[in-house]
Amino acid sequence: MKTIGIPKTLLYYHYHTLWKTFFDVLDVPYIESGKSTKELLKMGQNKAIDETCLSMKLFFGHIEALKGKCDLLLIPRIYSLEKKEQVCTNFNALYDLVHNLYSDIPLLNYNIDVKRHQTEKKAFLKLGRELGFSILESQHAYNIAKEKEKEYIRKLEQKGEEKLKSKKTKILLLGHPYTLEDELMGKRITTYLKEQDVEVIYSYEAKRDKIDNFKKISKTVHWTMNKELLGAFSYFSPFVDGVILITAFPCGPDSLTNEMILRKKKNTKVLLLTFEDLDSDVAIITRLESFLDMLKGGIHL
C-alpha cells in the first residue's frame, strides 16, 4: 500500500480529523509534514512568487519537507462549500499549483464544489476508488470519519463555552485555524498570552449554530471561511476582554473582513496583527504587551 503525504498546514487544520480517520479505517498509511520552522518557510519562499501569502509559502515548505518520504501527496481542490459562496481562490488552485511546481510527485486529490453538486461525500467516494476500495468500503470509512469529525467539533464548542466562564482576562484569537495553530504565527501569540495568565479563546471554538451571527456585521459574505470568522467575532466579542485579529499578509478575504470588524467593533477592544515575515518576535511582543496594558488599565481603544 502506498504511503500518503499530508502537508500539515492550510486545509489540514480544517479537515485533519476527517482525513486521518478515513485513512485509518481503510488501513491506508500516511505521514504528516510536522511543525512549521523557519527553515521550512525559507524552502517554501524559494518556490513561491513574492505576492503569495505567507500561509501559501509555508504550504510549499511543507511539501518540500515531504519529498522523498511518501508515494502520494494529498492535495484536494475545494471551490465552494455553500451554493452562493466560495472559499479562498488559493484553495481552488492548490492542486494545479502543486502539479505544476512538483510534476515529479504523484498527487492524490478530491474535488468539492457544491455549486456544481460535487459534494464532500461524493469526493470521498472518489478518493476511496482512487485508492482501490469499493464504494461500500469508502462509504463506511467516510461515515465513521464524519462522526469522528462531529465529535471533535462538539469538543471544541464545549471547550469554548467552558473558557467563557473563566475569571481570567479573556482574549479571543480570531483567525483561520491554519494561522492560529501554526508554530510560527498563532502559537507564538498563544504561548505569550498564556505566560501572562490570559484565557485564550480561539475563533474555531464558536458554536457552529452561531455562525449566522455574521449577519450582525454584514448580511452577505462571499467567502465561507471568513463568514465563520465574522460569526465567531459576533458571538464571542460581548463576553471577552479583547480580540486579536491574526492574518497572513497579503490575504485578500481577510483584509475585507478585518476592515468590517474594525469598523463595527463598537466597544470591543481589537488588535490587528498581520504576519508578513517571521524574522523577529520583538515587534509582536511589544504590541501584545501594550494591548494587555490597555485591557488591564481599562483604556478604551
Going from the N-terminus, what domains does the chain have, and what CATH number goes with each? 4-150 (3.40.50), 164-297 (3.40.50)
What is each CA distance from 300 to 46, 145, 228, 232, 274, in whole angstroms?
A: 43, 46, 27, 22, 22
pLDDT digit string, tens, across residues 114-138: 989 999 999 999 999 999 999 999 9
Distance CA 58, CA 39 (A): 10
Distance CA 203, CA 223 (A): 16
Collapsed DSSP state (helix, strand, coil) of residue 222: coil
Distance CA 91, CA 15 (A): 13
Structure confidence at residue 220 (pLDDT): 80
Structure confidence at residue 90 (pLDDT): 85
Structure confidence at residue 237 (pLDDT): 93
- Exposure pattern of 237-267 as b/e (b: 16+ CB <10 Å)? beebbbbbbbbbeebebbeebbebbeeebee
Percent share of the chain, pLDDT over 90: 70
Distance CA 59, CA 9 (A): 6
- pTM metric for this prediction: 0.91
Q: Average of pLDDT values for 150-171?
A: 96
pLDDT digit string, tens, across residues 49-74: 878 889 999 999 999 999 999 999 99
Collapsed DSSP state (helix, strand, coil) of residue 78: strand
* pLDDT level of residue 33 (50, 70, 90 thresholds): very high
Distance CA 81, CA 134 (A): 26
**Grid cell for residue 46:** 524559494
